[in-house]
A and B are shown apart, each in its own frame.
Chain A
Amino acid sequence: MRISKNIPTLLSALLATAVLSFGITQVAHASKWDAKMSPEEVEATLDQKFAEGSYSSKGADSCLMCHKKSEKVMDLFKGVHGAIDSSKSPMAGLQCEACHGPMGKHNRGGNEPMITFGKGSTLAADKQNSVCLSCHQDDKRMSWNGGHHDNADVACASCHSVHTAKDPVLSKNTEMEVCTSCHTKQKADMNKRSSHPLKWAQMVCSDCHNPHGSTTDADLNKASVNDTCYSCHAEKRGPKLWEHAPVTENCVTCHNPHGSVNDGMLKTRAPQLCQQCHASDGHASRAYLGNTGMGSQVNDNAFTGGRSCLNCHSQIHGSNHPSGKLFQR
């Protein structure tokens, strides 16, 4: 999927759905210079212009001479990137040209390329992103380079927009739609019998994952799977006297946090799940056949009926009872 093209389409559809009053229209046309220049030529020209540094004579005023008629352009001033009363905004620096690069001869008919972002841009995603990352570097974005979204050529502007009062992707109500437009497996997961409450946006992807990348597998917000889980399930943290080894090491050994056809987001139900690791002599090793048509039923005994193994081993996440070795107390 060419993410950089699809997300803005989706976002604009969502915007139209959710925020009628914003009146934003998506600019669908490629830039004027794309008709005459290949993407490679555009990039080479931009590189050269950036090196030469032929900035305009009057900053934003030079740009607005032509562009002030565009509502989309003027919407910049509604958001933080257009704030003229902030010392940290681009408007306190190179203004429009901070992001779009030196004007050069662009004002002579608009034929000379400028740095452009998002859907219409033919500029490589990493080049677009280099502009954003010059200011937006911190511990939450330090894994962007070489991360999943970077490798998939997702541009910052694929998800974010700055020419607006409020960036729609930062709203929890649109976040799920944006993420699942590419992460389709997770979209199915959250509709399964059990899942974290993502389907109704009570939770959102960024509660656990960092879309800008992280040093943890699956770009989790915390240092490990368990540390991420503990941030909401602190009662599982312990340490307890009697630990269940996979619980302390990796919650995902038994659970699928995105959802499962089984209750409790379990990968498999008991007793099968438990019997994949426990085969001591006695009841853990036996075959529990369920409905055989020969008198035995899945719901006629406590090994397969009710909570199965958990009917007795209820404290499966560990026990702090002095006599809790078998997780019964």
Chain B
Amino acid sequence: MKFKLNLITLALLAPASLAMAADGYDLANANTEKVKFSAWSCKGCVSETGVSGTIGAGVGYNDSDDIRSANAFAAEDDFAGKVDADLSYRGENGYRASIEADNLGMENGRVDINAGKLGQYNINLNYRQIHTYKTDSAMSPYLGAGSGNLTLPANWQTAGGSSEMPMLYDSLSPLELSLKRKRAGLGLEYQGEELWSTYVTYMREEKTGLKTASGSFFNQSMMLAEPVDYTTDTIEAGIKLKGDNWFTALNYNGSFFKNDIQTLRFDNAFNPTFGAQRAGYMSLDPDNESHTVTLSGQFAQKGAVVSGRLFAGQMTQDEAFITSGYGYQLPQESLDGKVDILGMNLKAVKRATRNLRISGSYDYYDRDNQTQIQEWTQISINNVSGRVAYNTPYDNTSHKAKLAMDYRIANGMKLDAGYDYRRDERSYQDREITDENSVWARFSLNSFEHWNMWIKGSYGKRDGSEYEASEWTSSESNKLLRKYNLADRKRTQVEARVTHSPIDTLTLDFGARYALDDYNNTVIGLTESKDLSYDASISYLLTDDLSLSAFYNHQTIDSDQAGSSNFSTVTWTGTVEDKVDVIGAGLAYDNLLEKKLRLGLDYTYSDSDSSTQVRQGITGDYGDYYAKVHNVNLYAQYQATEKMALRLDYKMEKYEDNDAGNDIAPDGIWNLVSFGDNSHDYTAHLIMLSVNYRL
């Protein structure tokens, strides 16, 4: 058997002093003076070559009358087929290859292929799909869905209100609102004999489908199916150098976004009002590019670690502006938009004693929008038409400084504490500077047998420069308004968790957290937000073959806000209460039928609910807004022969949601042509039989 001595070993062969091991057992500090490597032949080491792993295939029947179930089942049609593989090849001299395929052929399929030589190079090919589905019954009178030109039927007659449009109901046809991402990648990695390594990856993602947009003229609006036909290419490359106690890396990331459809033209379904427009043109997301170069490094010595990162990037966009339906002189044909990103991170961690460690860091991030400010005439789609407006390319800069320490009071008892400071600077906004100071502490206790627990608390206070509510807004804003991302805020958070394992096979876990955001100087806007959640779980291994687990989570988020209908002091208040309950249970029974059968059951239920109330003299509410979903996965796996296993899966999803604000007919609101009621109420089933073969 042939052995190669690596760099670390060679370095170790040099006489090393009796290093103190208080920092740990870093190989660079190993004392190998006395080692006689010539006698280390490793006769007992095993190296098997060949192919091993599993390969499988499955067929399934999908019973669903709502496309939304494809999110859970990854199957759109009645029948589904898939291939799974987990194969690896080991050759002589470190040659390796592997294929991992998961649900290939289904809507969430992915595959990852690697080939290379250990410690030298690797070639990777990968593919991944993410498909998400909203509905297949969005009702629209428009023709040309999927293109950049949405037209109404030739015999369409406009009207002042949607319910007066004589052709509306005859023209409706259902649309599928879904987005499909297909991502393929190629990667190469090479490691030098010493010190260095390099890599390059390329990835292309295509995203297609339809999403909801709205086209409006003054106060009248139509829901539109916006085409999505994006291609994003991403290239990453880097080189890394490392030694015993340091490393450095230089990376480049380039991203190139292309949108095949840049304009969405749509007919006006209503009688023309302002500007007498019969068609509108919406600008869809323009092509853009982003480039980032990052230099990072780390140095460690005597219990201290210093690491840092510097990065510089640029995001650009220069797509030609829409001129159709605009009719004014443009200051330039395209934006020539440019944003420079500059950032730095510095962090030092020092172990002062065996029980005390301190750390400090500073982070800087700057977004500098270099785009020219110009005059842009606003067209006649509303009552601010014909006015001139100036674009406001936003800049922002953040500085963060953190100090922290962790102290081991005794074995199994630890205190962590820290102070965080953050400053944000912004241009063209109501407040130029915000400062936030926070302190936090966490105490953990693991010293009692069978019990583990910790508690964490933090308090933060944000304030800043003078708040000028109307400085940059186009229309004057209420002087008492404080936007919640800029407003003064006191944030209090507490979290605790207890885990108890009375016996080796049983674990009980309970946690709770509470957060209060008090916008203490806000009269109008978000004034307070409270977030309370708790969860409990149990996992129990009843016998060697039977395991049981269950969990429950609850969360309530309450938000209070205030407004003024008469543009002065508070006349109305609003309360939003968001609630969720999630319950899950799992059961697995193994080694049945002469140790050949395994049965399993997984169940989850979640109930999301939101209620909104607004009070101004009288109290109104926003009706029901909920989503309730049950998911069951029952499976049986049978080891038919030594090599072959059969598996039968049954999946069920029972889903129901509602949105009172969208519980409308296409003409239910006079100045809106909507997609209609797109709530869901279905029970879907999937049965899948798969065969797995072990090589």
Contact = CB atoms under 8 A, between A and B. Distances in A.
A80 B561 CA distance: 57
Given A130-B25, A137-B247, A290 B31 contact: no
Contacts of B669: 299-302, 305-306
Interface string B652-687: 000001011111100011011010000000000000
B555 A185 contact: yes
A166 B662 CA distance: 49
Contacts of A107: none
Interface in B416-446: 416, 426, 428-429, 442, 444, 446
Interface string B539-570: 10100000100010111000101011101000
A144 to B, nearest CB: 9
Interface string B449-460: 000101000000
Interface stretch (B136-144, B164-172, B507-515): B507-515
A320 B580 contact: no
B579 A306 contact: no
A191 B394 contact: no
Given A298-B621, A310-B214, A329-B322, 12 more contacts: A5-B501, A21-B54, A53-B32, A84-B47, A86-B94, A89-B118, A93-B12, A139-B309, A146-B349, A200-B108, A292-B619, A322-B376
Contacts of A171: 100
Which of A46, A50, A115, A234 has the largest count of B CB atoms less than 10 A from its CB? A234
A237 B259 contact: no
Given A249-B394, A306-B661, A325-B389, A275 B561 contact: yes
Interface string B365-385: 101010100001111011010
Given A234-B257, A239-B371, A321-B321, A302 B672 contact: yes
A70 to B, nearest CB: 12
Task: Give the one of A48, A142, A294 with max B CB within 10 A.
Answer: A142
A94 B620 CA distance: 73
Interface string A19-36: 011000000100000000
20 contacts: A52-B31, A53-B32, A95-B42, A127-B25, A139-B249, A139-B296, A146-B404, A193-B608, A197-B71, A223-B313, A234-B290, A241-B391, A243-B392, A245-B428, A277-B484, A282-B475, A306-B661, A323-B376, A323-B379, A325-B389
A16 B16 CA distance: 44
Contact of B26 (A48, A133, A234): A133
A272 B616 contact: no
B627 interface: yes
Contacts of B446: 2
Given A84-B1, A290-B622, A241 B337 contact: yes
Interface in A15-65: 16-17, 20-21, 28, 39-40, 46-48, 50-55, 57-61, 64
B363 A61 contact: no
B563 A46 contact: no
Given A138-B240, A268-B576, A321-B321, A28 B563 contact: no
A282 B555 CA distance: 35
Most A CB contacts (10 A, CB to CB) among B2, B365, B614 go to B614
Contacts of A121: none
A261 B389 CA distance: 37
A58 to B, nearest CB: 5
Interface residues of A, number: 160
Contact of A276 (B45, B361, B384, B483): B483
A210 interface: no
Contacts of A92: 3-6, 9
Interface string B583-602: 00000101000000010100
B657 A101 contact: no
B24 A322 contact: no
Given A86-B118, A184-B537, A276-B483, A298 B608 contact: no
Given A137-B247, A235-B230, A320-B319, A243 B394 contact: yes
B614 A289 contact: yes
Interface residue SS majority, chain A: loop
A87 B6 contact: yes
B345 A322 contact: no
Interface stretch (B59-67, B151-159, B281-289): B281-289
- Of A102, A145, A227, most buried by chain B (CB within 10 Å of CB) is A145
Interface string B160-204: 000000000000000000000100000000010100000000000
Contact of B288 (A88, A91, A238): A238
B616 A287 contact: yes
Contact of A185 (B240, B535, B561): B535
Nearest to B305: A145
B378 A323 contact: yes
Interface string A140-157: 001101100001110000
Contacts of B124: none
Interface string A171-215: 111000000000011011001110001011111000000000001
Contacts of B9: 92-94
| Range for the number of chain B residues in contact with chain A | 35 or more
Contacts of B343: 223-224
B148 interface: no
B46 interface: yes
A101 B384 CA distance: 76
A61 B622 contact: no
B92 to A, nearest CB: 7
B572 A287 contact: yes
B148 to A, nearest CB: 14
Listed from nearest, the 9 A-B pairs whose CB atoms lie closest are A130-B24, A289-B620, A53-B31, A59-B40, A88-B119, A287-B572, A86-B118, A235-B285, A188-B553
A111 interface: no
Nearest to B522: A276
Interface string B216-256: 10010101000000101010001010100001010100010
A6 interface: yes
A237 to B, nearest CB: 5
Nearest to B507: A6
A6 B549 CA distance: 13
B298 A137 contact: yes
A305 B393 contact: no
Contacts of A227: 292, 341
A137 B242 contact: yes
A237 B296 contact: no
Contact of B255 (A60, A234, A300): A234
Nearest to A314: B214
Contacts of A253: 485
Interface in A279-321: 279-282, 285-292, 294, 296, 298-302, 304-308, 310-312, 314-315, 319-321
Contact of A61 (B44, B72, B442, B499): B44
B230 A286 contact: no
Max chain B C-beta neighbours (<10 A), residue from A28, A239, A277, A286: A239
Contact of A292 (B357, B475, B620, B664): B620
B118 A80 contact: yes
